[in-house]
Amino acid sequence: PVFAAYAEGAVITDLDGNQFLDFSGGIGCVNSGHSAPRVVEAVKNQVEKLQHTCFQVTMYESYLTLAEKLADIAPGNSPKKVALFNSGAEAVENAVKIARKFTKRQAIVCFENAFHGRTMLALTLTSKVKPYKDGFSPFAPEIYQTAIPYTYRRPESLSEEEYVDECIANLHGFLKRTVTPDNIAAFILEPVLGEGGFIVPPKKFIKEIERICKENGIVLIADEIQSGFARTGKMFASEHFDLNPDLVTLAKSMANGFPVSAVVGRADIMDSVQPGGLGGTFGGNPVACAAALAAIETIEQENLCGNAISIGSTVKERLQS
């Protein structure tokens, strides 16, 4: 066990002075590096000016500036609006609320091996039973889980193309046998899964989900909480699939570990919720918003997407060998 004293860049120093390369990054939270200079400076400046008001009571600039930035860079082609919260799980729960309000439907479809959080609705969407779900039932209703292709673990008798086609056929069977599209409010998926294995779903499967959603008026939620902000060599993993989600959930490295999250989505969907239907005391705290703006600037100015591609290609080659 490592008990941290301080950290900088990718290195953690413990209480005994030992140094460790940090391969967890706070579970994907410090993609800009520990004590990133822009983030530290932004936080210091913001703390001296304004620490908290609750945005629903008294507004402030850093919330609006961050919302504008996220609307500009998040995946999706339509005009967007943004709501800020505290954690990834809270963003997921609010995305489901928004989808249900907009569609006036209840069912939510999620996928095996997924992780969406540990609050009760988010935990229902999460796949792994132990340690996350064991002993905490009953879970939220109208949640339906189905398989997502895991090509690395596919049957040896099938080619990758045959396996993906079979998975798509099984998905259509699921939509006949288990829950029908006209009852589904949303599909929620991680473009790259990071808990039940680091799983990159085939683009063909992802695009089929997108097509099903578009044809049936289903909200497509991309959970980019762990895969976003340069983790996969793109600002968002959705970009690898040319995915155009209706709602996107963000957190973790958005503020380089400071507690803030977001739902970014189509303006017409976001506007379907009544005033007061979304919010929270600490959501979009001014200090966390300042950290987020500085973290995004760090990713953009220091080409951390290119850095991720460079390191990733080296590591992938070594692991595959």
Tell me, yes or no, if 236 is annotated catalytic.
no
Phi and psi at 106, nearest 5°, equal: -115, -35
Among candidate residues 85, 101, 252, 258, the one labeled active-site is 252
In angstroms, rounded to a whole number, what is the distance separating the alpha carbons of residues 61 and 42? 13
Tell me, yes or no, if 14 is annotated catalytic.
no
Q: Which is nearest to 240 in space by CA: 192, 181, 187, 290?
A: 192
> Would you tell me the crossing angle of helices 37-49 and 286-301 to the nearest 10 degrees?
160
Give the E-state strand segments of 251-320 in sequence order. Answer: 261-266
Tell me, yes or no, if 223 is annotated catalytic.
yes
For 214-243, give one letter per residue: b (16+ CB within 10 A) or e: eeeebbbbbbbbbbbbbbbbbbbbbebbeb
Please, are residues 22 and 10 in contact by the beta-carbon 8 Å criterion? Answer: yes
Among candidate residues 115, 229, 236, 241, the one labeled active-site is 115
- C-alpha neighbours within 13 Å on the C-beta side of residue 37: 2
In angstroms, rounded to a whole number, what is the distance separating the alpha carbons of residues 205 and 236? 18
DSSP state of 234: S
Residue type present at position 24: S
The alpha carbons of the chain give a radius of gyration, in whole angstroms, of 20
Among candidate residues 223, 241, 246, 258, the one labeled active-site is 223
Catalytically annotated residues: 115, 223, 252
